[in-house]
Structure 1
Amino acid sequence: MASSALSAAYELGLIEALEKQQTVDIATFCQDKDLHQPSLVAIISALCCFDICHIENNQSTVKPGASFAEAYQYKGYFLWLIRGYGYLLQNLASITQNKNRHDDFINRDGRYIALSGRDYGQQFVDSYFEQLLSEVPYQFVADLGCGSGAKLINIVTNNPTVRGIGIDINPGAVTTARIAVDDFHLQDKVKIIEADISQLDRQSNFEEVDTVFSFFNGHDLWPYDKCSKFLTNLHTAFPNIKRFLLCDTYRSDTIPSANVPIFTLGFEFTHGIMGQYIPSLTEWLDLFAESGWQCVEHREIGIPFSTIFDLRPSQD
Structure 2
Amino acid sequence: MEKDPWSAHRIKITGVLQALCRAGAVEHRDFSYELTELGSDLHQQAPIFKLWFGAYASVLADAVAGVPDPATLVRGAVVAESSSRVGAQYLDETLLDLVASLAPRGRVCDLGCGTGSRLLAMCTRAEQPGIGFDISSTAVDAAQNTVRDARVLGVDLEIQQADVTMLTDTWPDVDIVTQAFMTHHIAPDDHCADVLRSYRVRFPRARYLVVFDTVAPASTSASSPELFAPGFDYIHALQGMEPRTREAARRVFAEAGYRCLREITLAVPNSYAWVLRPDDGAA
Question: What amino acid sits opposite 1:208 in the alignment?
Answer: D
Check the 8 A contact 1:251/1:281 in 2, yes or no.
yes
In the alignment, structure 1 segments of 5+ residues that lack a partner are 1-29
TM-fit CA distance, 1:259: 6.1
Among 137, 151, 157, the residue aligned to 1:185: 151
What is the match of residue 81 of structure 1?
Answer: 52
What is the match of residue 275 of structure 1?
Answer: 240
TM-fit CA distance, 1:134: 1.7
Matches within 5 A, 1:45-84: 45-57=18-30, 60-84=31-55
Question: In 1, distance between residues paired with 2:12 and 2:29?
Answer: 17
Among 114, 128, 150, the residue aligned to 2:117: 150
> Does 2:177 correspond to 1:212?
yes
Closer, same or farther in 2 for the Cα pair 1:240/1:277, shift >3 Å? same
Check the 8 A contact 1:168/1:194 in 2, yes or no.
yes
What is the match of residue 113 of structure 1?
Answer: 79
What is the match of residue 195 of structure 1?
Answer: 162
Closer, same or farther in 2 for the Cα pair 1:78/1:284, shift >3 Å? same
Among 295, 303, 308, the residue aligned to 2:260: 295
> Does 2:135 correspond to 1:162?
no
Question: In 2, distance between residues paired with 1:226 and 1:262?
Answer: 23
TM-fit CA distance, 1:207: 1.7
Q: TM-score, normalised by structure 2?
A: 0.89
Question: In 2, distance between residues paired with 1:124 and 1:180?
Answer: 20
Q: What is the CA RMSD across the aligned residues, in angstroms?
A: 2.4
Matches within 5 A, 1:93-132: 93-95=64-66, 100-102=67-69, 106-132=72-98
Question: What amino acid sits opposite 2:186 in the alignment?
Answer: L
- SS of equivalent to 1:182: helix
Question: What amino acid sits opposite 1:146 in the alignment?
Answer: C
- SS of equivalent to 1:67: helix
TM-fit CA distance, 1:263: 4.9
Check the 8 A contact 1:231/1:291 in 2, yes or no.
yes
Check the 8 A contact 1:255/1:265 in 2, yes or no.
no
Check the 8 A contact 2:107/2:130 in 1, yes or no.
yes
> Does 2:172 correspond to 1:172?
no
Q: Percent identity?
A: 24
Check the 8 A contact 2:115/2:142 in 1, yes or no.
yes
Question: In 2, distance between residues paired with 1:90 and 1:255?
Answer: 27
TM-fit CA distance, 1:256: 7.3
What is the match of residue 191 of structure 2?
Answer: 226
Question: What amino acid sits opposite 1:170 in the alignment?
Answer: S
TM-fit CA distance, 1:279: 0.9
Question: What amino acid sits opposite 1:234 in the alignment?
Answer: Y
Question: In 1, distance between residues paired with 2:280 and 2:71?
Answer: 42
In the alignment, structure 2 segments of 5+ residues that lack a partner are none
Closer, same or farther in 2 for the Cα pair 1:118/1:33, shift >3 Å? farther
Check the 8 A contact 2:225/2:270 in 1, yes or no.
no
Question: What amino acid sits opposite 1:123 in the alignment?
Answer: Q
Question: In 2, distance between residues paired with 1:200 and 1:252?
Answer: 31
TM-fit CA distance, 1:170: 1.1
Question: What amino acid sits opposite 1:79 in the alignment?
Answer: K
Check the 8 A contact 1:222/1:277 in 2, yes or no.
no
Check the 8 A contact 2:21/2:27 in 1, yes or no.
yes
Matches within 5 A, 1:3-82: 31=4, 36-57=9-30, 60-82=31-53
Question: What amino acid sits opposite 1:191 in the alignment?
Answer: E
Q: TM-score, normalised by structure 1?
A: 0.80
Question: What amino acid sits opposite 2:59 in the alignment?
Answer: L
TM-fit CA distance, 1:88: 1.3
Question: In 2, distance between residues paired with 1:301 and 1:35?
Answer: 45
TM-fit CA distance, 1:69: 3.0
Check the 8 A contact 2:228/2:270 in 1, yes or no.
no
TM-fit CA distance, 1:63: 1.8
Question: What amino acid sits opposite 1:174 in the alignment?
Answer: V
TM-fit CA distance, 1:93: 2.2
What is the match of residue 257 of structure 1?
Answer: 222
Task: Count residues with an aligned counterpart.
Answer: 277
Q: CA offsets, 1:65-108, max 9 Å, x none?
A: 1123322222111001110111111222223xxxx415x66401
